Structure 1
Amino acid sequence: MLTKMKLIQICFLILFSFSVKGQLKTHVDPNVRIGVDSLKSYKNETLGFRIQLGFDTDKNNLDSLRIKFMTLYPKTDAYITFEAPYFNFMVGDFRTEMEAGLMKEKLIGLFPLCIIHRTRIKLPRID
């Protein structure tokens, strides 16, 4: 049978164990955080196709191409990226090569370059 002292100890532990507040700190390597953040960005991306309409070492030349494209197709996203030593101007977020091909047919002759590239794309927006 439980002694009176043991019973008091058990009651004390039960009563005060619920009021204990603690703090937990985690130390994570910065490289792990970078990896997690990059995985989050992949959630909104998938493999698909974009059309390259130009490349140049001078970004201002591509800005004029971008303005021309955006006036013709305001609902299609346009991207200027840098891959040394060139800036690349690509348009669209096409899931299939056929979709990209249909847009390419419309763009041939309007822009100096019209090449379909397989790349990571943002999920197409629903308009």
Structure 2
Amino acid sequence: MRRNISGFSRGRSWKLSVRFISCKMKILLIILFLSNGLLLLSQDDGVGNVQIIQDPRVDSLLQKHIELNEQNPDIEGWRVQIFFEAGNYSKRMAIEAKSEFVGKYPNVRNYLIFQEPYYKVRIGDYRTKMEAEKFLKKIQYDYPNAFVVQDEINFPELGLPTQNF
């Protein structure tokens, strides 16, 4: 009988060695699964008590923070300014610019602001400059002189994402 390089003959003993290795693998897998089961059983059930000990002044500070936020609902943010003008007819022109914008974009918040001597029309309530610039790119064709400004904004409405499950 001829032997190959590994030292096994080509016949029966090769099949026996494969069976022997296969048997070792089965035993190893059984030990692995049993040890995982024992690990899972040895863990806690996750039931326990948590006691929070805090200074009573923390509650009063939290309540003051809530009251201040209710009094001043504005936060720092960004808007897009599409119009500003000073002069005799600037208020009328600002109102026209605002109504034109509402006709094109009815779902976007808009504001007519008077900061002496200018009437301004500002659009949106954006938390980041990137959001404001994204909207600016969207309206750039209709309002080529528009630009992004930092302003006190109202809290933007947080809509839930619509997903089809």
* TM class, shorter-length: 0.5 to 0.7
Matches within 5 A, 1:1-127: 40-42=70-72, 44-57=73-86, 58-127=90-159
For residues 42-77 of structure 1, the C-alpha deviation after alignment (integer angstroms, 9 at most, x for no partner) is: 2x2211100000111211111111111111211111
What is the letter of the counterpart of residue 51 of structure 1?
A: V
Q: CA deviation at 1:113?
A: 2.2
Report the aligned-residue RMSD: 2.0
Q: CA deviation at 1:40?
A: 4.2
Q: CA deviation at 1:87?
A: 0.6
Of all paired residues, the percent bearing the same amino acid is: 26
TM-score (norm 1): 0.64
TM-score (norm 2): 0.50
List structure 1 runs of 4+ shifted beyond 6 angstroms. Answer: none
Note the residue ranges of structure 1 that are not aligned, 5 or more in a row: 1-37
Q: CA deviation at 1:121?
A: 0.2
* Aligned-partner SS, 1:125: coil
Note the residue ranges of structure 2 that are not aligned, 5 or more in a row: 1-67, 160-165
Q: CA deviation at 1:41?
A: 3.6
Higher relative contact order (CA 8 A, sep 6+): 1
Report the equivalent of 1:20: none
Is the contact made by 1:54 and 1:112 (CA closer than 8 Å) also made in structure 2? no
In the aligned structure 2, how far is the partner of 1:51 from the partner of 1:65?
A: 13
What is the letter of the counterpart of residue 108 of structure 1?
A: Q
* Aligned-partner SS, 1:70: helix
In the aligned structure 2, how far is the partner of 1:55 from the partner of 1:112?
A: 13
In the aligned structure 1, how far is the partner of 2:144 from the partner of 2:116?
A: 20
Aligned length: 90
